[in-house]
Chains A and B, each alone.
Chain A
């Protein structure tokens, strides 16, 4: 964990030993560059890198690499996401080179939600290779300087490789092994699914630390502040792999009319305080989706500002 692999801001912050903070921004449902710029403007200087989702929940949006390029042009560091659902290995390698050429230095490798969830359920799905193999692919391109077919790459892409981890999906006992596999395949940093069940997450992190995974990769805990009781109930019932304890829903309801959003933020801040001290965690991934303008306030109240500036 010494020499820089990509030179990205996120990598520098993590390697220097700071507690990192990443944000998230979904590209617009169109070529509306102004809207995109407005969204991520709230995150500028507030986080170390901003995740740019890739047709999230299988809903068509501006491509992640293009939105990432716009971000770079406006002084914000993107964390470019690529899912396995929409691209085969040719398009993947091609897009990785293209993104790198546009200045992208962080990349998150994901399976991607099945297209039946999205707004084009009739589409053919790809899944040529899976997320584990995509991580290995990026590592091969970066460290060996070779394409999947072992041909040499004319200027290899030096990406800081990320992967996702969901401690709350089933089977629970296997999740930490899968996390270990992603790290062994080449993941440099991990962002978890958003956490609400703190007890389960503590158990998961204990297993991860026992396996020494925190020493091999940087693990960032995912947080999404609850805006309303409705949001909490929806996530509890309708989002696969999401674990929302009844106690949290009760707490939000108890806050009273008009005060639920503040209670949700309060919970998030409490989580951040615990995560700052938790063994094995290197940072926070704050997904305040469609709530980007509240990120500066949350970061401030959680004592995460100012963000470190590394040369």
Chain B
């Protein structure tokens, strides 16, 4: 799912410094799964902001609501009569949420509460790691189910580079060298020729480099 981390409290307080009433909108999608923007986290952020503003002597009224998702117009429409009642609205969804809300309600300000980072999954309870870079041309079948575009710091297609040491990436001992893993798996399965054949240069047009992307299902468009 999409992974995000909550913005520092100082940044959030700065965003709402001229507000007296705000609404925090959570999302039951990805940000609930990575415990940063669901109902619970909305409650926690609301309490934190109230504490901070009480301390300043400028109390802040904070209302809370969590939507099913913030990436579908049907759910965005559900808060039609609500959003106008506030000085600003904080969205705890990924970068998509505040944008969909802003588009639907151009007369209100929507602030992002989280920094959206990557596509990934849980590797341990409480830890989520990046797995996919959204390059638009998936090639994990060539690498035994591992993606060098997302998981190699240099996105090499013919790795590992000379900085790979003891299975770790040169940039940090906390980062596994995905190429070390790919090579070992290929050697184990006797498929080394898969790696020694030249791969064509990547066509980055399907990635973000080619411009903002759109997916269309012809059979569904009315």
Asked if A and B touch directly (CB within 8 angstroms), the answer is yes
Which residues does A use to contact B, with CB under 8 Å? Answer: 84-85, 89, 111-114, 116-117, 125, 127-133, 136, 148, 164-166, 169-171, 173-174, 177-178, 180-181, 184-185, 193, 240-241
Scoring B156, B163, B192, B202 by chain A CB atoms within 10 A of each residue's CB, the highest score goes to B163
CB of B220 closer than 8 Å to a CB of A:
no
Q: List 15 A-B contacts (CB under 8 A).
A: A111-B156, A111-B161, A113-B163, A114-B163, A114-B171, A117-B171, A125-B154, A148-B201, A169-B162, A170-B167, A173-B187, A177-B195, A184-B196, A240-B162, A240-B165
- Cβ of B153 within 8 Å of any chain A Cβ, yes or no, is yes
**Those of B154-206 within 8 Å (CB) of chain A:** 154-167, 170-172, 177, 180, 183-184, 187, 192, 195-196, 198-199, 201-202, 204
- How many A-B contacts at CB < 8 Å in the complex? 97
- Is A181 within 8 A of B155, CB to CB? no
**CB proximity to A under 8 Å, residues B8-56:** none
How far apart sit A257 and B155, CA to CA, in the bound complex (Å)? 45
In angstroms, Cα B172 to Cα A89, docked, is: 28
Evaluate contact between B170 and A171: CB separation under 8 angstroms.
no
How far apart are the CA atoms of A185 and B201 in the complex, in Å?
13
Complexed CA–CA distance, A132 and B156 (Å): 9
* Contact residues in B for A127 (Cβ distance below 8 Å): 154-156
B153, B162, B192, B196: the one within 8 Å of A241 (CB): B162
Chain A residues lying within 8 Å of B160, measured Cβ to Cβ, are 169-171, 174, 178
A132, closest chain B residue (CB): B158
Q: Pick the contact of B165 from A113, A132, A170, A174 — CB < 8 Å?
A: A170
- Residue numbers of B with Cβ under 8 A of A are 153-167, 170-172, 177, 180, 183-184, 187, 192, 195-196, 198-199, 201-202, 204
Partner of A181, one of B165, B171, B198: B198
Given contacts A112-B154, A170-B160, A177-B192, 9 further A-B contacts (CB under 8 A): A128-B204, A131-B156, A132-B158, A148-B201, A169-B162, A170-B177, A171-B187, A174-B195, A241-B164
Chain B positions within 8 Å of A84 at CB level: 154
Chain A residues near B177: list those with CB within 8 A: 170
- State the CA gap A148–B160 with chains docked (Å): 24
* Minimum distance in angstroms from A150 CB to a CB of chain B: 12
CB distance from B168 to the nearest CB of A (A): 8
Contacts of B163 in A (CB 8 A): 113-114, 169, 240-241
Given contacts A84-B154, A170-B164, contact A130 B170 (CB under 8 A): no
Known: A177-B196, A241-B164. A130 touches B187 (CB 8 A): no
Per CB-CB distance, the 6 closest pairs between chain A and chain B, nearest first, are A166-B162, A132-B158, A240-B170, A240-B163, A130-B156, A111-B161
Q: A114-B170, A181-B196 are in contact. Are A85 and B154 (CB under 8 A)?
A: yes
In the complex, A193 Cα to B195 Cα: how many Å? 22
**A171 and B183 within 8 A (CB):** yes
If A111-B156, A114-B170, A169-B165 touch, does A136 touch B198 (CB 8 Å cutoff)? yes
**Which of A89, A113, A130: most chain B Cβ within 10 A?**
A130
Tell me which residues across on chain B come within 8 A of A129, comparing CB atoms.
201-202
Tell me whether B171 and A116 are in contact (CB under 8 A): yes
CB <8 Å contact, A169 and B158: no
Interface contact B166-A170, CB-CB below 8 Å: yes
